[in-house]
Amino acid sequence: MNDADVSKQIQQMVRFIRQEAEEKANEISVSAEEEFNIEKLQLVEAEKKKIRQEYEKKEKQVEIRKKIEYSMQLNASRIKVLQAQDDVVNAMRESASKDLLNVSRDHSTYKKLLKDLIVQSLVRLKEPAVLLRCRKDDVHLVESVLDSAKKEYASKVNVHPPEIFVDSVHLPSAPSHHNAHSPFCSGGVVLASRDGKIVFENTLDARLDVAFRKKLPEIRKWLFGQVAA
C-alpha cells in the first residue's frame, strides 16, 4: 500500500470519526434538550400546583373569615333582639311595680289584703309566736287586723291563736322621687319566728317577683310568640 492509499484511508477514517462524533453530539444535544424541556415542564407544573394550593388556602381563609363575620353579626343581632325583649319585659315589670303603689292607697281593700297576708304567713310558719314587720305607715292598719287574723289562722289549722309582736323596726317606705335609689317596699308584711331562723317575706314586691318569675315564659310567649329558653 502506497502513501496515497494510506492517506486516503486515514481521511476516510477521520471523516467517519467526525461524522460519528457529530451524530453523537447531536444525539446528546437532543437528549439534553428533551431532559431540559421535561425538567422545565415539571418545574412549571410544580409552580402551578404551588400557586393553586396557595390560592385554595387563601380562598378557604376568606371563606372562614366570612363565616366568622356572619356568625358574629348573627350573634350580635340575636343579642340585640334579646336585649330588646328584656327591655320590654323589664318595662312591664316596672309598670306592674308602680301599679302596686295604688294597692295601699285604698285603705279598705288594703286592710283586708293585709289580714289575708298575715294569715297566709302564719300558715306557712306554723309558729306559736312570731315577729311581724311592716311599713311604718301600715302599723295602724296591721294592728287593727291582728286579732281577726289570729282567730282565722287558729280556726284554719285548729291551734291556739299565736302571739304576734309588731317589730319596732319597719320595712322601707314606698318609693318616691326623693329616695328613688333607696330600698323600698310597696306594702305587705314579713313574718319571722322569734329566734329569726324562719322568715317568710310576704310583701307585695316579693309576691310580684314570685308571680313574675313563674309567669315569665308565658309572658314572653304572649309578647314575642315563642317561649324563651
pLDDT at 130: 97
Q: Which of 132, 146, 151 is nearest to 200 (CA)?
A: 132
Contacts of 156 (CB under 8 A, 6+ apart): 119, 123
pLDDT per position as a tens digit, 147-197: 999 999 999 999 999 999 999 999 998 877 655 567 889 999 999 999 989
Question: Could you give the CA distance from residue 138 to residue 97 in angstroms, rounded to a whole number?
Answer: 18
Q: Is the pLDDT of residue 218 over 50?
A: yes
Phi, psi of 180 (to 5 degrees): -60, -30
Q: Which of 163, 160, 129 is nearest to 146 (CA)?
A: 163
Q: 174, exposed or middle or buried, with CB in 10 Å at 0-12, 13-18, 19+?
A: middle
pLDDT at 178: 57
Of 14-28, 67-81, 134-148, minimum mean pLDDT range? 14-28
pLDDT at 9: 80
- Mean pLDDT score of the chain, rounded to an integer? 88
Question: Could you give the CA distance from residue 3 to residue 214 in angstroms, rounded to a whole number?
Answer: 131
| Intra-chain end-to-end CA distance of the chain, in Å | 118
pLDDT per position as a tens digit, 69-108: 899 898 888 888 888 878 888 888 888 888 888 898 889 9
pLDDT at 177: 60
Most confidently modeled range among 39-53, 89-103, 124-138: 124-138
pLDDT at 94: 84
Q: Is the pLDDT of residue 228 over 50?
A: no
Q: Is the pLDDT of residue 53 over 50?
A: yes
Phi, psi of 176 (to 5 degrees): -150, 175
As a 3-state breakdown, the chain gives helix, strand, coil percent values, each rounded to 5, of: 70, 10, 20
Phi, psi of 202 (to 5 degrees): -125, 45
Contacts of 228 (CB under 8 A, 6+ apart): 85, 217, 220
Q: Which DSSP category does 172 fall into?
A: P
Question: Could you give the CA distance from residue 114 to residue 204 in angstroms, rounded to a whole number?
Answer: 10
165 with 130: CB under 8 angstroms?
A: yes
pLDDT at 46: 86
Most confidently modeled range among 5-14, 149-158, 170-179, 207-216: 149-158
162 with 128: CB under 8 angstroms?
A: yes
